Chain A
Amino acid sequence: MPNRLLDRQVSLLEYLTSAATLFSEEVDAPMDQSLHGIDQGLLRLEARFCCNRRIKKIIAVFPRTFEIIGADRGRILREFVEANRQTDINTLANAHQFYEFFLARSRSEAPTLPYLLDLAACELAIAKVRNNAEESEKSFNLGQSGRPKTAIRRYRSVVPLRCGYDVRSIFEAGLREVVPPKRDTLFVVNLAADSCNVSILEVPPGVFGLLVRLDDWVDPRTLADVDDVENLVSRLAAQQLIEVQA
């Protein structure tokens, strides 16, 4: 039934998110028959409002990345919008979508600066950490030593991140001041319970590996292959990087 309201609504949202509506030289991008009679200039204006709101959310997650991208920003964002129509209004979902696009794009066109992908990954991790911390309140009374431990998990507000550059310097010293050193770096991006500041900590491979494994609840007895696991778990619990379910 072509005249069903839902079909017309679907057509309208398809039209409002299409690259042709947003960017083509001609205002009259091809439209479904069910939309005929609606002013296409006004639809383009509506489409651009929607698109701008989405872009604003994405830029808010990657401020340093976009500052470095500089003059290429408009071109990259346009390519992104052309390749990825909006489906969701969630900021993190759109940021994820942009990061995946940026990653894929870098395979065909290397970023102007080689550490840009690491910087973007780090900014996305910070957004995730903030979001996850908001989602779930930490319960810090579970990780005390001496309790029977049946399951452990990385806190939702802790994100392990492997980088090819030590991008911390960009966050510490500012964009223009430094070129981050090239070296494999294992980070933990973390929002401590008593702070609203996200920290980016470098951790040894053993800690990083364990935190990656603890994406979901794990019985610590299954971690016998980890050196000195009991001490390590106690230490990470005390540092509020993992939660322990008694």
Chain B
Amino acid sequence: MTVGRPSPAVGIGYRAAIGQWTRDHLDDFDVLEITVDSCIDGGHAVRSATYDLVGRIPLTAHGIGLSIGTDAPLDDAYLSKVADIIERLKAPAYSEHLAFTRVPGRDLATLLPLPKTEAVAASIITKVRHVQSRIPVPFLLENISHLFEWPDSTFSDAEFLNLICGETQAGLLLDVENLLLNSLNLTFDPYEFLDSLTAGIVKEVHLAGGTVVDQPFLARPYFVDSHSHPVPDEALDLLEYALRRHKPANIIIEREGRLEAASELLEDVERVRTRLANAIGRPHAESTFGSAG
């Protein structure tokens, strides 16, 4: 554990498309989040550029390809690759989405929700334990944004996450934007969601900015997690509230769209730091996971 690292550390998700820009602004961030799948699928140049960051800035590992919610055995070959990359990155934690993206023979790479039932929770708990047995760093589950619910769900999102994380000691990667969008689309109180979470469960945070879509076949406009715009103030309000009961190690701002406006990320980082100062002040306690850098 390294004393003196800002906690929570504030940074961005590393994207190869703005790799050079990110390297030019490394001093503006405390941490970068690496998508392990870009190392697996991205080819030599992407891998080299990513591994070149090791030691220059703390890195944390995030995945999009596990599909832990698919009702089929986990892909051990994939997990072995993830374990290798985490070791290479010296990442102190590995996060994935509580979702499914594929079934055998068909992959949409879209994060889809699971029925929130006891049976599904039991299956996920077994799988989380399997991941934990293969990956030598703490495993975190992320709440996704979802447009629809399975009608047989019996738990709320917060109850489902509490149950799985409680049984497995997995942490929660709280995606505040996803929480905000779900609260708007599915009409619930996001502050109640935060109050319902087990204290201390949140180990990392994601923030992003989305868009609104309206179509003739929709009953009303819907909010979409497009990762393309500045973080909205409502999400920062939720972050500030969440920080009262949780001490995440990292706060990561995600951006996929409008990368030509990458400088907005620097403004978002500053806005987050201002909210952090409001919520907890600086300097703060050491990070939960320590430093990878």
Q: Which positions in A face B, CB cutoff 8 Å? A: 4-6, 8-10, 12-14, 16-17, 27, 36-39, 41-46, 49-50, 53, 85-90, 131, 133-135, 137
CB distance from B113 to the nearest CB of A (A): 10
If A49-B110, A86-B106, A134-B44 touch, whether A43 touches B123 (CB-CB below 8 Å) is no
If A6-B70, A134-B44 touch, whether A45 touches B213 (CB-CB below 8 Å) is yes
Chain B residues whose CB sits within 8 angstroms of the CB of A10 once the complex forms: 103, 106
Establish whether residues A5 and B106, one from each chain, have CB atoms under 8 Å apart when the complex forms: no
Q: Interface with A: B7-15, B147-155, B189-197, B268-276, which one?
A: B147-155
For this complex, 23 residue pairs linking A to B, each with C-beta atoms less than 8 Å apart, are A6-B70, A6-B71, A6-B103, A9-B71, A13-B106, A36-B151, A37-B152, A41-B215, A42-B147, A42-B218, A43-B148, A45-B147, A45-B213, A46-B110, A50-B109, A85-B106, A86-B106, A87-B106, A88-B107, A90-B41, A131-B43, A133-B43, A137-B44
CB distance from A188 to the nearest CB of B (A): 21
Does B219 lie at the interface of the complex (its beta carbon under 8 Å from any beta carbon of A)?
A: yes
**For the complex, what is the distance from the CA of A46 to the CA of B222, rounded to whole Å?**
11
CB 8 Å contact bits of B120-155 with A (1 = contact, 0 = none): 100100000000000000000000000111111000
Establish whether residues A89 and B107, one from each chain, have CB atoms under 8 Å apart when the complex forms: yes
CB distance from A80 to the nearest CB of B (A): 17
**For the complex, what is the distance from the CA of A238 to the CA of B158, rounded to whole Å?**
63
Cross-chain pair count, CB within 8 angstroms: 91
If A13-B102, A44-B217 touch, whether A5 touches B115 (CB-CB below 8 Å) is yes
Chain A residues whose CB sits within 8 angstroms of the CB of B120 once the complex forms: 5
Does B100 lie at the interface of the complex (its beta carbon under 8 Å from any beta carbon of A)?
A: yes
Closest partner residue, chain B, to A44 (CB atom): B217
Closest partner residue, chain B, to A51 (CB atom): B108
Does B72 lie at the interface of the complex (its beta carbon under 8 Å from any beta carbon of A)?
A: yes
**Partner of B106 from A17, A49, A90 at Cβ < 8 Å:** A17
**For the complex, what is the distance from the CA of A1 to the CA of B147, rounded to whole Å?**
27
**Partner of A42 from B43, B45, B151, B222 at Cβ < 8 Å:** B222
Establish whether residues A13 and B103, one from each chain, have CB atoms under 8 Å apart when the complex forms: yes
CB distance from B37 to the nearest CB of A (A): 10
Closest partner residue, chain A, to B46 (CB atom): A134
Q: Please report whether the interface of chain B is mostly helix, strand, loop or mixed according to DSSP.
A: mixed
If A36-B151, A39-B148 touch, whether A89 touches B71 (CB-CB below 8 Å) is no
Closest partner residue, chain B, to A27 (CB atom): B217
**For the complex, what is the distance from the CA of A87 to the CA of B106, rounded to whole Å?**
4
Establish whether residues B71 and A45, one from each chain, have CB atoms under 8 Å apart when the complex forms: no
Does B55 lie at the interface of the complex (its beta carbon under 8 Å from any beta carbon of A)?
A: no
Establish whether residues A37 and B151, one from each chain, have CB atoms under 8 Å apart when the complex forms: yes
Given contacts A90-B41, A134-B45, 17 further A-B contacts (CB under 8 A): A4-B71, A5-B71, A8-B150, A9-B71, A9-B103, A10-B103, A36-B151, A39-B148, A44-B217, A45-B147, A46-B110, A46-B147, A50-B108, A50-B109, A86-B108, A89-B107, A89-B108
CB distance from B57 to the nearest CB of A (A): 24
Chain B residues whose CB sits within 8 angstroms of the CB of A90 once the complex forms: 41
Does B4 lie at the interface of the complex (its beta carbon under 8 Å from any beta carbon of A)?
A: no
